[in-house]
Amino acid sequence: MDRETVIVLDFGGQYNQLIARRVRECNVYCEIYSYRTSIEKIKEIHPKGIIFTGGPNSCYEADSPTYTKEIFQLGIPILGICYGSQLMMHLLGGTVETAPVREYGKIEVTVDTTSKLFQDVSEKTICWMSHNDYISKVAPGFRISAHTADCPAAAMEDTERNLYATQFHPEVLHTKEGKKMLSNFVYQVCGCSGDWKMDSFVEESIQAIRKKVGDGKVLCALSGGVDSSVAAVMLSKAVGNQLTCVFVDHGLLRKNEGDEVEAVFGPEGPYDLNFIRVNAQERFYSKLKGVEDPEKKRKIIGEEFIRVFEEEAKKIGQVDFLVQGTIYPDVVESGVGGESTVIKSHHNVGGLPDYVDFKEIIEPLRDLFKDEVRQAGLELGIPEYLVFRQPFPGPGLGIRIIGEVTAEKVQMVQDADAIWREEIAKAGWDKKVNQYFAALTNMRSVGVMGDERTYDYAIALRAVTTTDFMTAESAEIPWEIIGKVTSRIVNEVKHINRVMYDCTGKPPATIEFE
């Protein structure tokens, strides 16, 4: 597919993915590359524009991230943001030094609205600043196009060479008109036409998959989560009957989830997926018997999952292609893309290592951010309640039960979790929090029920708000809801005599409770 592309050259900025998402929101495809990417590679990509990210360093120091000056001679428009703007000035003969006044936060910026970058932007506009260094002298050929009270060169440009730079961060939502500025950059400066649209992406992907697969056989592990569901439906539209989807019920799903997934994707549902459900509950429980360590549980569940899947694959016979639900942030975070590599130890049931006898992997969502996967899902006609599901970890309830996992404990946590989710949704809080669930603590304590002494388990309720799932706040759920859920859980769920609410954020806790 030859689509117009803008690239983000990452100098270690924390907002690299945010920049790419904002550009894509303008209907322009955008990818992130490390500043270590060679200029030959960039020429090969032939981008319509390049954006230099921010970064934590000082560009005038010897080992700070930098780039060859040749990039400014390619005739490709470039926008430098924060560190990127300083680096551009530094490389082209301007001066960058420690600022007399450090700017941090929302700052009023006065812009020259005749600049292409600031077309239709208010003359005085609030922008997000975060910098210790500043540009004391712009490079030859540049003119200043915005300033603040403390920053004489808040934006600058050389319209001859199509080079633009902003000291502030247009990608951050605190920059009120940032999206307009980025849109101006990609449309007014780079001359993009805006061909990145989900309906055409879905259609093009289907065509490309069809061509690639020919009359081969395709296998997909379906978990019922957003990514694998979207991938499976896309594959089914592309190759119909040649696709087989295997859904492993490991007995660690939420209440009724196995049946719900089967109802949508199974033979009675609207899709033609050659759906195979494997009820492997007992296998998993027996492997998990006596195991208390959370990492060990994760490993066992992951390995057993692969074993079950492999057995099913063998029954199908020769498989040519295996589908994986990899999405763009996984690609960036695995270090292939940007600079800020995040170490991930998550076991994702949707993704499997190389073990089955197959020719190739198909990753139809590899280019998409999560919200784009959801849009693609809607385009494919997948029901909204599935497309907007909250995240659920691959190892499932196995990591929401502290200590040993048993069938009895799974049922306790399933029942309590179902009550919590039902009441949260009824009260409309499902739209206000990003993830919420119940976990079973391994703590038993004395209680009294009727006239009888009990010695039972405590359930922990968790609800968090987060934008990126890297950090999170415990949500302030009204006591009224917590009270109602507490009384329902202790009354309706056997062997639970206490309910606790987890008030901890991430850090220091994690979102999951394992």
Catalytic choice (30, 82, 151, 192): 82
Q: Which is nearer to ligand XMP, 94 or 350 (CB)?
A: 350
Does 395 bind ligand XMP (CB under 6 A)? Our answer is yes
Phi and psi for 499 in degrees, rounded to 5? -130, 135
Is-contact 90 52, C-beta < 8 A? Answer: no
Catalytic choice (171, 257, 312, 339): 171
Does 405 bind ligand XMP (CB under 6 A)? Our answer is no
Catalytic choice (90, 131, 169, 250): 169
Beta bridge pairs of residue 158: 163
Residue type, 447: G
Does 348 bind ligand XMP (CB under 6 A)? Our answer is yes
For the chain, the C-alpha Rg in angstroms (whole number) is 26
DSSP calls for 36-94? TS-HHHHHHH--SEEEE---SS-TTSTTS----GGGGGS---EEEETHHHHHHHHHHT-
What does the alpha-carbon distance between residue 127 and residue 137 come to, in Å, rounded to a whole number?
21
Q: Which is nearer to ligand XMP, 329 or 393 (CB)?
A: 393
Alpha helices in 334-406 (DSSP H): 370-379, 384-387
**Size, binding site for ligand XMP by CB under 6 A:** 13
Stretch that binds ligand XMP, among 49-57, 281-289, 343-351, 441-449 (CB under 6 A): 343-351
User: Is-catalytic flag, 347?
Assistant: no
Extract the tokens encoding 391.
């995240």
Does 469 bind ligand XMP (CB under 6 A)? Our answer is yes
- For ligand XMP, the binding residue among 147, 347, 370, 432 (CB under 6 A) is 347
Stretch that binds ligand XMP, among 127-135, 188-196, 277-285, 342-350 (CB under 6 A): 342-350
- The maximal CA–CA distance of the chain, rounded, in angstroms, is 87
Does 303 bind ligand XMP (CB under 6 A)? Our answer is no
Extract the tokens encoding 263.
């109802």
User: Is-catalytic flag, 333?
Assistant: no
Does 435 bind ligand XMP (CB under 6 A)? Our answer is yes
User: Is-catalytic flag, 452?
Assistant: no
For 124, 165, 305, the CA distances from 147, given in Å and listed in that order, are 10, 12, 58
Alpha helices in 130-268 (DSSP H): 178-184, 198-213, 226-239, 257-265
Is-contact 456 416, C-beta < 8 A? Answer: no
CB of 470 to ligand XMP, least distance (A): 8
- For ligand XMP, the binding residue among 299, 432, 444, 506 (CB under 6 A) is 506
- For ligand XMP, the binding residue among 391, 468, 476, 483 (CB under 6 A) is 391
Counted residue by residue, the chain has a size of 514
Stretch that binds ligand XMP, among 26-34, 117-125, 451-459, 505-513 (CB under 6 A): 505-513
What does the alpha-carbon distance between residue 90 and residue 273 come to, in Å, rounded to a whole number?
56
- For ligand XMP, the binding residue among 49, 55, 170, 394 (CB under 6 A) is 394
- For ligand XMP, the binding residue among 150, 310, 333, 512 (CB under 6 A) is 512
Does 112 bind ligand XMP (CB under 6 A)? Our answer is no
Write the CB contacts of 193 (distance below 8 Å, at least 6 apart in sequence).
4
CB of 399 to ligand XMP, least distance (A): 7
Does 161 bind ligand XMP (CB under 6 A)? Our answer is no
Stretch that binds ligand XMP, among 11-19, 52-60, 181-189, 388-396 (CB under 6 A): 388-396
Give residues in contact with ligand XMP (CB under 6 A): 346-348, 391, 393-395, 435, 469, 506, 510-512
Q: Which residues are catalytic?
A: 82, 169, 171
